[in-house]
Amino acid sequence: MIAPTEENDPILSRIERLEEQNRRWRRGAMIALVAVVSIGLTAQTRSKRRHAPAHQPAAAPGIPKNIEAESFTLKDDSGRVRAELAMSGTGPSLKLFDEHGSALAVFCVNDTAPGGPFVTLSDPAHHAGLSMSVLEGAGSELSMMGEGENAQVHIGVTKDGTTLELFDQDGFSTDLGNGMQTTRSGKLKKTSAASIALFNKDRKVLWSAP
């Protein structure tokens, strides 16, 4: 029996050519499919990057509503203490210092008897100053000191009345208002808000009325 050839079997040759063409088409289609899929994935990745949300900055830490401590110290750029808020032996106090470390303003509350608030102000040399207090059982008081050692003014309001005392540099003074006064005869008398008395530097009455 003679084997079929392209010359004696043209149909068989045509079938082989068709099969070879089909194999080429399948390889071409597979390559095209892979290329299409690759292009699609690349486009999708770029789209995600393009639409990705921008980096958001970290949220600032929350500010605490309450801070608890036994003392706070405020310093300037040179490291010097300029203010101090602390619990002292008699109660809370706030001190303000100058650049040399001298306390020029003090605000405090006295917990011990007589209890109440107390304020002092001073110049850097501590020659002149002012003090105010409202103490339990002692009423309210305002005192002012001048550059001189004896120059002072005292104003007081208590349950017994009001007083105003003036002192000069030489020690002479004037009292107005309520208080206890020593008369020229050496006796004590209680004065009223309408009284006035002048004293020498030894606190002896020079003149008084009534």
Cα separation, 106 vs 96, in Å, equals 7
In this prediction the pTM is 0.63
Beta-strand pair 161-167/152-158: antiparallel
Q: What is the overall mean pLDDT for the chain?
A: 80
Instruction: State the pLDDT at residue 196.
Output: 92
- Poorest-confidence range of 2-6, 77-81, 98-102, 183-187? 2-6
Cα separation, 138 vs 115, in Å, equals 9
Beta-strand pair 188-191/92-97: unpaired
Q: Does the pLDDT value for residue 2 go beyond 50?
A: no
Tokens standing for residue 23 = 């194999």
Residues 6+ apart with CB under 8 A from 51: none
Q: Does the pLDDT value for residue 12 go beyond 90?
A: no
| pLDDT tens figures, 108-140 | 999 988 899 999 999 999 899 999 999 998 899
Tokens standing for residue 190 = 């209680």
Residue 59: CB atoms within 10 A of its CB come to: 6
| pLDDT tens figures, 23-56 | 665 555 555 555 544 555 555 555 555 555 556 6
Return the closest-CA partner of residue 81 out of 100, 107, 67.
100
Tokens standing for residue 85 = 């808020």
* Structural domain boundaries in the chain: 71-147, 149-210
Give the residue-averaged pLDDT of 138-150.
Answer: 90
Cα separation, 27 vs 24, in Å, equals 5
Burial label for 70, CB within 10 Å (0-12, 13-18, 19+), is exposed
| pLDDT tens figures, 72-111 | 999 999 999 999 999 988 899 999 999 999 999 999 999 9
